[in-house]
Amino acid sequence: MTGISSPLPREAQHAPSVLRNLRVLLTQIAAIADSEIQKLRHDPVELFTRVIQPVLWLLLFGQVFGRVSGIPTGGIPYQSYLVPGILAQSVLFIAIFYGISAIWERDLGILYKYMMSPAPRGALVLGKAISAGIRGLSQAVMVYLIALMLGIHLRHDALALLGVVGIITVGAAIFSTFSLIIACIVKTRERFMGIGQVLTMPLFFASNAIYPIALMPPWLRVMAAGNPLTYQVDALRALMLPGYHLAFSIQTNIAVQAGTLVVLIAVAAKLYPSILD
C-alpha cells in the first residue's frame, strides 16, 4: 500500500450466503434477458414484420394443402393442423439467427464487456436463450391472433396456454443456443449467414411441422425423430388443437427437450468466450 486505503468493492461487505449467490445469479441472467425486452420496447416494428411469414404460410400453403385429402392429420382440418407447426417454425427461424446477434455484439464491442464481468458464462448464455424465448412468445401471440382471424379454433384453457409458453420458451432457447454455438465456431457474419440458411431447411422439413411423420420415407423418419423441432410441434399440437393425440409420450418429450437444452447450454458456455478470438 502506498498510504491510500483502497476500500473493498461494496459487494464484498456482505456475508456470502447461498441465497444471496442465487439472487446474484438470477440478476445476472435477468440482465441479458431484460435488455432484450427493452430493445423490443424501443423498436417494436420487428414484432410486426416477423408476422408476415407465418401469415403467408397459413394463408397460401394452408389453403392449398387443405384441399389435399390424403394427409393423415387424425381428423383435424389441415389448416388447424398447420398452425402449431408454423408457430414452431417461426420461433425456429427467429432463434436460429441469434448467433448473428452475438457476432454483431462482438463487432460492436459489447460482448467484450459482458465477458469482462464476473458473471458466469452459463448465465450469459442462459440470458440470451431466455431473450430468444421472449421473442418467440411475442410470435406466439401473433399466431394466436391470426388463427382467431382465420376462424381456427384453438384450445385456450389456462393449462394449455401455460404449456405453450413453456414449449415456446424452451424451443427458442434450444435453437438460439445451438445458433450461438455455431457463431462461436464460424465467427464471422458472412459464414454464419451461409450456414444458417443450410441449417433451417433440413430442421424444418425433417420434422412434423407441415406433415405427419407417417408420410415420410424411413430415412427421413429417423432424422425427424432426432430433431427437437418434431417434439416441440407434437407438444404444441396437443396443447393447441382440441382432440389431437400425442405421437410421443409426455415423458419422452420433456426428456428430449430438457436434455438437449442442458447439453447445448453447457457447450455454449464453454465456447462463448472463443467468439472474441
Partner 1 sequence: MSRWAIEAQDLCKRFGSFLAVDRLSLCIPHGCVFGLLGPNGAGKSTTIKMLTTLAAPTSGSARVAGYDVSTEAVQVRRRIGYVPQQQSADPDLTGFENLLVFARLYGIIEQRRARIVEALELMDLADAKDRLVRHYSGGMVRRLEIAQSMLNDPEVLFMDEPTIGLDPLARHTVWERVAKLRETHGTTIFLTTHYMDEAAALCGIVAFMNTGKILDSGPPHELTAKYGSGATLDDVFIRLTGQPLAKSGTHA
- Nearest 10 degrees: Cα torsion 131, 26, 267, 112: 70
> Closest separation between CB of residue 51 and partner 1, Å?
21
15 binds partner 1 (CB under 8 A): no
- Whether residue 154 contacts residue 147, with contact meaning beta carbons closer than 8 Å, is answered with yes
Q: How far is the CB of 177 from partner 1 (least distance, A)?
A: 19
- For the chain, what is the radius of gyration of the CA atoms? 21
Query: In terms of CB distance, is 123 or 164 closer to partner 1?
Result: 123
Check residue 225 for interaction with partner 1 (CB under 8 A).
no
Span near partner 1 by CB under 8 A; candidates 1-9, 169-177, 193-201, 210-218:
1-9
Residue whose entry in the numeric block shows the C-alpha cell 431484460: 34
Sole binder of partner 1 in the list 3, 70, 75, 217 (CB under 8 A): 3
Nearer to partner 1, 30 or 71 (CB): 30
**Beta carbon nearer to partner 1, 36 or 234:** 36
CA dist 117 and 173 (Å) reads 23
Counting contacts by CB under 8 A, is residue 75 touching partner 1? no
Residue pair 134/36 in contact (Cβ under 8 Å)? The answer is yes
Residues in Cβ contact with 158 at an 8 Å cutoff, skipping those fewer than 6 apart: none
Contact segment (CB under 8 A) with partner 1 among 8-16, 53-61, 180-188, 218-226 equals 8-16
Which residue lies nearer to partner 1 by CB, 67 or 113? 113
Ranges within 22-41 binding partner 1 (CB under 8 A): 23-24, 27-28, 30-32, 34-35, 38-39
Cell of 137: 412468445
Cβ contacts of residue 21 below 8 Å, gap of 6+?
none
In contact, 132 and 98? CB cutoff 8 Å:
yes
> Own/partner pairs for 141-145, CB < 8 Å, 24+ apart?
142/47, 142/50, 142/51, 142/54, 143/54, 143/83, 143/86, 143/87, 143/90
Q: 1 vs 68, which CB is nearer to partner 1?
A: 1
In whole angstroms, the minimum distance from the beta carbon of 9 to partner 1 comes to 5
Q: Are 268 and 184 in contact (CB under 8 A)?
A: yes
Do residues 246 and 234 lie in contact, with contact meaning Cβ atoms separated by under 8 Å? yes
**Residues near partner 1 (CB under 8 A), total:** 37
Contact call for residue 45 and partner 1 (CB under 8 A): no
Residue 274 binding partner 1, by CB under 8 A:
no
10 φ, ψ (degrees, to nearest 5) = -55, -30
Considering only residues 109-128, where is the footprint of partner 1 by CB under 8 A?
A: 109-110, 112-119
Give the binding site for partner 1 (CB under 8 A). Answer: 1-11, 23-24, 27-28, 30-32, 34-35, 38-39, 42-43, 105, 108-110, 112-119, 276
